[in-house]
Amino acid sequence: MLISLFILILACIVLVRSGGLLVKSLTNISAFFGIPEFTVSFILMAFATSIPELFLGITSAIHQDAILSFGNVIGANIINITLVLGLTAVFVKKLKVESIIAKRRAFYALIVAISPLFLVYDGKLSRFDGVLLLCIWIFSLYQTWRQKKRFKAIYNHYPGFKVFKDFLYFILGVSLLLGSAEVIVQVAEKISWSLHIPMVIIGLALLALGTTLPELTFSLKASKTRHEEMVFGNVFGSIVLNATLILGLVSLISPIRLERDSSYYLPAFFTILSAIFLLIFLRSKERLHRHEGIILIAVALLYIYSVIHLTVKIL
């Protein structure tokens, strides 16, 4: 079991590092095309930083363990709302949200984050639900791209000769992600069978913390260079992509079945709670202050504690 945990941690490190490689390459590629920063972060960067969840989801669905992806996605969204934004706000003291459109996207993203929990309330996320989630994702892309002129562009004048190297890094990152995702799913299956822990529990905490490290890294770097809209664009874009594209594809490959027990109600409660807190903080002011970030971090720690407590009860 200790060897399995070591392999799982090592695979998560490879997953995160390869995700970071993709973040860097896609950032440079987007620089070459001069796309506005919120659009870059909401679409390209959200896709890049959510690639660990995407590959993990597809791999788990192929292995008929789609419930692992559901737990990972819901847990990752909770961590994004609370821990990622909370730590970033504490790091920069106050995280500005100047764009009205960005605030609207925040409300939209949080509603979308809750939608899979409503769809799976009947005990199943069917292929029809998957198609519906994919339609929501396509609509979200269209709306964001249509409003791209309302955001400022910062990426331009990137040397064209470097783009080819970034494409090679992109291919390398994808290859590493495929391999590490395969290892994670197989080791998670072994741990689940050995300790009799539901796969959804493993996804809700352990994998959720690991796969959101790219979002946290990018958010801290973007806030340090005073590009707050990129922070919110990346987080909200990741939330939407996780809840729509990833769960949509996963449920198309292998419909997700989930019992309405504590493994459902616990993440549902924390998803709604964290969404309410963030909406209150963003709508009351044009910034996320340090003390509000501390509250979000506290919610994240309470969530992690609750999942650990639930795991101990199962054991």
Q: Given a cut of 90, is residue 273 above it in pLDDT?
A: yes
CA distance 198 to 209: 17
Asked if 69 and 247 touch (Cβ cutoff 8 Å), the reply is: yes
- Our measurement of the distance from residue 91's CA atom to the centroid of its chain's CA atoms, rounded to an integer in Å, reads 20
Q: Which bin fits 288, alpha (ψ -120 to 50), beta or left (φ > 0)?
A: beta
Q: What is the pLDDT of residues 79-116, one digit of tens each?
A: 999 999 999 888 887 777 655 555 677 788 889 999 99
The reported pLDDT for the residue numbered 254 is: 92
Question: Which of 202, 157, 182 is CA-nearest to residue 59?
Answer: 182
Termini Cα distance of the chain: 15
Asked if 208 and 79 touch (Cβ cutoff 8 Å), the reply is: yes
Q: What is the pLDDT of residues 218-271, one digit of tens each?
A: 777 777 766 666 777 778 888 999 999 999 999 999 999 888 888 889 999 999
**Average pLDDT for 60-86:** 90
**Is pLDDT larger for residue 129 or for residue 166?**
129
Provide φ and ψ at 299, rounded to 5°. Answer: -65, -40
Q: What pTM value is reported for the model?
A: 0.81
The reported pLDDT for the residue numbered 23 is: 64
Highest mean pLDDT among 21-25, 47-51, 65-69, 215-219: 65-69
Asked if 110 and 279 touch (Cβ cutoff 8 Å), the reply is: yes
Q: Give the H/E segment covering residue 96.
A: strand 94-96
The reported pLDDT for the residue numbered 195 is: 73
**Is pLDDT larger for residue 32 or for residue 274?**
274
The reported pLDDT for the residue numbered 244 is: 93
The reported pLDDT for the residue numbered 31 is: 66
**Is pLDDT larger for residue 133 or for residue 177?**
133
**Average pLDDT for 156-167:** 65
Question: Which of 91, 117, 136 is CA-nearest to residue 270?
Answer: 117
- What is the rounded average pLDDT for all residues in the chain? 79
Asked if 49 and 234 touch (Cβ cutoff 8 Å), the reply is: yes
Domains detected in the chain: 37-152+182-314 (1.20.1420.30)
Q: Which residues of 6-38 are buried (b: 16+ CB within 10 A; e: fewer)?
A: ebbeebbebbbebbbbbbebbbbbbbbeebbbb
